Structure 1
Amino acid sequence: MRWLWVLGAVGAVCLGLTGCVTAMLPVVKLDPAFAPAAPPALLGAFADDLAITTRAEWEARRAPLLRARFAAEVYGPYPTNVAPPRVLSRDPIAYERLADIATVEQWSVAVGNEDTPPHFNMVLVLPRGASTRTPLIIMQNFCGNRAALPDAPAEIAGPLTEVLWVCDANWAHPLIEMPFGRYINAPPYADILARGYGLAMFYAGDVVADTVSGAPDGMRKLYGADAPDAGAIAAWAWLYSQAYDVLAADPRIDAARIAIWGHSRNGKAALYAGALDHRFAAIIAHQSGRGGAALSSGTEGESIAKMIEAFPHWFAPAYANAPSSPAMDQHQLLALNAPTPVLLGNGARDAWADPHAAWAAAQAASPAYGLYDVEGFSQTEMRNANVNANLAYFMRPGLHGVYEEDWRVFLDFLDAHLGASRTQGAAR
């Protein structure tokens, strides 16, 4: 009877994560022929703008137009007229699991203009004994830092806003990992450190809660009483840049080699952050799905309507009215990241995220990389990433989650573009 209990518990956990993945998904065919029709040509005429032929035209005309359209019609704008982020505290943490190979700190970072501004807690993990500045991965997590640090010391702060019930249920964490992968909560610290990278992680919900009821209060604190029509993803994307600001000032960190990483909804935020802030050295958006890398015009998996119904606080209100074949689509978001290296991860049983539509978006975004004379999307098969290209894609077996294979590809991609040593961060 024990297997019945386990099955029921796994089912309960999956229900607690509704919107990330659905049960019994079909296998996504590893064949680009199943990708949706190509969207309108990236560099062709768009709205009132003529066709683009040069990098200068892209940067002066098309890119600003697209950023404005994404702000108005999909995500909303970034907060404006806010004070720079401030580090309120930096506290060393004694973390036994990594004591021999890393130093661990907890930072409290204030953002916004209020007398008691919103803040988020960030955990910084750096290789012990590094002789040069360390390249860094900034990542957002789903459940707060305590869930992302197994056997977290008492000093590690919990999330500052409401989280999914499974985040607070320690007994459920192993069950979450069964369908969603070993690294859905906590990344493989030892592997990351062995490749020469540091890691900074935080829960964006500390500032804007990932709930329908809690998000409006956080948005008002960031945007003011007359908040524009912005969704939580815009705020979460902005927090990647706020984290960059304070981390880049640390002399132990190589500011020129700071990458950002996000899975699922955090992958959507990472792509929007990369589109608006080109200081990041690389973007990894894993299974970002609709509203992320997947074309809105794709027909497999989650629809815009279903996503908005489940998570109305994520996007600008106008996105709910997006047509099924929009003139503006997610290939343009990927293109706005150019020339920054971007890696798109996918799962063969994650049809909900529409990997075929992400493939089509990557193909259609590639001309933007050509404007910068770097290799864009050149793959002909979906399984393995061309990690040397500045726009890459892979699809491994398995569900919507974070697996050991995923991190191998993530780190190979970062090695190709950030030039980290396998022992410590060597200068590129």
Structure 2
Amino acid sequence: MMLVSGGIARAQDGLPDPLVSTDGTKITSAKEWKEKRRPELLEFFAREMYGQSPGVPEKMSFEEFDRDREALDGKATRIQIAIYPGGKPGPRIDLLIYVPNGVEGPVPAFLGLNFWGNHAIHKDPGIRLTESWVENNHQPYVDLKGVDANRATDETRGVNASQWPVEMILSRGYAVATMYREDVAPDHEPYFGSGVPPLYPELQRGEGNWGTIAIWAWSLSRALDVLENEPLIDARRVAAFGFSRLGKAALWAGANDERFALTISNESGAGGAKLFHRGVGEDIQRLNSLFPHWFSRKFRAYIGKDKELPFDQHLMISCIAPRPVYVASAIEDRNADPEGEFEGLKAAEGVFELLGAKGLPAERWPEVDVSVQGGIGYHVRAGRHDVTDFDWEQYLKFSDKHLKGK
């Protein structure tokens, strides 16, 4: 039996069924999914949660300002490109790219936003220091003591390198591409006062405004536009990657933009991979209270209704199908509800299988530090909210399977 609430069909257990359309029609073919169900789900999430995003900006331009073919002691070619979403002069987003040398190309790539500036992912002195605002709060996995009045200094080079094992990724034949979240949209007050948001004032009006998670997701697509013009990279084999709030953005980017060949979410939690219906971990009230800019204001209407939602995150993840998706959790990251992230994937599995992809080869939440990989991948590792070499080892293995042979 299916119930219909808020325009989304729900199974008897209260969890929405991704294969039942808003009019109650059972989706039984790839054609019905592509032409009917997927578009209505994307429209629903844009309207009710993430906010409406624009398309490719007409005046967007980009300029390469650095290409060093002997970077990292000759291991890589470093490319730096300034992206101007509204054209020059205007907001600038720096895209940093490392391409492995000595590898037959074009090569696949991981593309993701970073937390503290491109210069923070590696000590390479050739990386341009961001001119955007940088937080100086203490974090358990990065030392920010070198930040001066919310500005980056040379002392902050490489402070986030542990989450971006560039040499490991390059050694496996992949390129790395990244942008700084604050270049794109501020994660501090005034929330929509710099970066991309001022280019689209009309999208900040009303309850269905364009939230920061969606703005970050949109920027990943704009970076992919740029990568399509780089001959060293195979833009048909680019994985969208993100950690924590940026993992939420990576999932939304992967759901919307079918050019992303693979999507990786590292501990994205609430508003990312975990199910709200479980009532475990971070909830809608906390999201909207602590981070009022992340989602559209319309999402606030669901505060206190986590277990009764007429939708949930597995519907958004379903929109990535049949392209592969990997979600990772950490056992100590209780806010992200690791088991709820696993359940979010399992609830999306039917769509992947309908479209001819493999699902997640685990019926129960796996043991700690055990990776399960099919068309969907998942692991929960020991430790806290972070990105570790163990995580990247699983992503590389998963990507070898799905991108290397493509």
TM over 0.5: yes
Distance 1:146 1:320 in 2: 36
Match of 2:278 in 1: 298
Deviation at 1:149, TM superposition (A): 1.6
Q: Which moved more, 1:368-377 or 1:391-400?
A: 368-377
Q: Which amino acid counterpart does residue 386 of structure 1 have in structure 2?
A: V
Distance 2:133 2:54 in 1: 20
Deviation at 1:213, TM superposition (A): 1.6
Match of 1:259 in 2: 239
Distance 1:405 1:146 in 2: 23
Structure 1 gaps of 5+ residues are: 1-36, 173-181, 420-426
Tell me if 1:131 matches 2:116.
no
Distance 1:249 1:332 in 2: 32
Match of 1:273 in 2: 253
C-alpha contact 2:107 2:233 (8 A) present in aligned 1: yes
Could you report, residue by residue, the CA deviation over 1:133-153 in whole angstroms, capped at 9, with x for unpaired residues? 111111110011121122x42
Tell me if 1:343 matches 2:329.
no
Match of 2:152 in 1: none
Match of 1:160 in 2: 132
Could you report, residue by residue, the CA deviation over 1:226-285 in whole angstroms, capped at 9, with x for unpaired residues? 535110011100011000011121111112211111000010000000111011111000
C-alpha contact 1:145 1:201 (8 A) present in aligned 2: yes
Distance 2:326 2:68 in 1: 32
Q: Spell out the pairing of 1:68-83 with structure 2 (5 A cutoff).
A: 68-80=43-55, 82-83=57-58
Distance 2:27 2:361 in 1: 21
Aligned residue for 1:64, secondary structure, equals helix
Match of 1:169 in 2: 145
Match of 1:146 in 2: 119
Aligned residue for 1:71, secondary structure, equals helix
Match of 1:205 in 2: 182
Match of 2:42 in 1: 67
Could you report, residue by residue, the CA deviation over 1:353-394 in whole angstroms, capped at 9, with x for unpaired residues? 01121111111101111121110223134232233x111111
Deviation at 1:116, TM superposition (A): 2.4
TM-score by length of 1: 0.81
Structure 2 gaps of 5+ residues are: 1-12, 149-158
Deviation at 1:95, TM superposition (A): 8.0
Deviation at 1:403, TM superposition (A): 1.2
Match of 2:312 in 1: 329
CA shift in 2, pair 1:134/1:154, >3 Å: closer
Distance 2:67 2:56 in 1: 32
Q: Which amino acid counterpart does residue 146 of structure 2 have in structure 1?
A: N
Match of 2:372 in 1: 386
Match of 1:23 in 2: none
The equivalent position to 2:386 in structure 1, one of 369, 382, 401, is 401
Could you report, residue by residue, the CA deviation over 1:155-197 in whole angstroms, capped at 9, with x for unpaired residues? 512152343445752399xxxxxxxxx9675411111011100
Q: Which amino acid counterpart does residue 246 of structure 2 have in structure 1?
A: N
CA shift in 2, pair 1:219/1:246, >3 Å: closer
CA shift in 2, pair 1:171/1:226, >3 Å: closer
Match of 1:193 in 2: 170
Match of 1:410 in 2: 395
Match of 2:352 in 1: 369
TM-score by length of 2: 0.85
Distance 2:55 2:101 in 1: 38
Deviation at 1:94, TM superposition (A): 8.4
Match of 1:34 in 2: none
Could you report, residue by residue, the CA deviation over 1:43-77 in whole angstroms, capped at 9, with x for unpaired residues? 13x43342211111111111111111100111112
C-alpha contact 2:62 2:226 (8 A) present in aligned 1: yes
Deviation at 1:117, TM superposition (A): 2.7
CA shift in 2, pair 1:373/1:288, >3 Å: same
Tell me if 1:234 matches 2:214.
yes
Match of 1:40 in 2: 16
Structure (1/2) with the larger strand percentage: 2
Q: Which moved more, 1:222-231 or 1:232-241?
A: 222-231
Deviation at 1:330, TM superposition (A): 0.3
Aligned-pair identity in percent equals 32
C-alpha contact 2:110 2:175 (8 A) present in aligned 1: yes
Match of 1:312 in 2: 292
Match of 1:352 in 2: 335
Q: Which amino acid counterpart does residue 382 of structure 2 have in structure 1?
A: P
Distance 1:313 1:184 in 2: 28
CA shift in 2, pair 1:413/1:155, >3 Å: closer
Q: Which moved more, 1:162-171 or 1:326-335?
A: 162-171
Match of 2:154 in 1: none
Deviation at 1:81, TM superposition (A): 6.5
Q: Which amino acid counterpart does residue 289 of structure 1 have in structure 2?
A: G
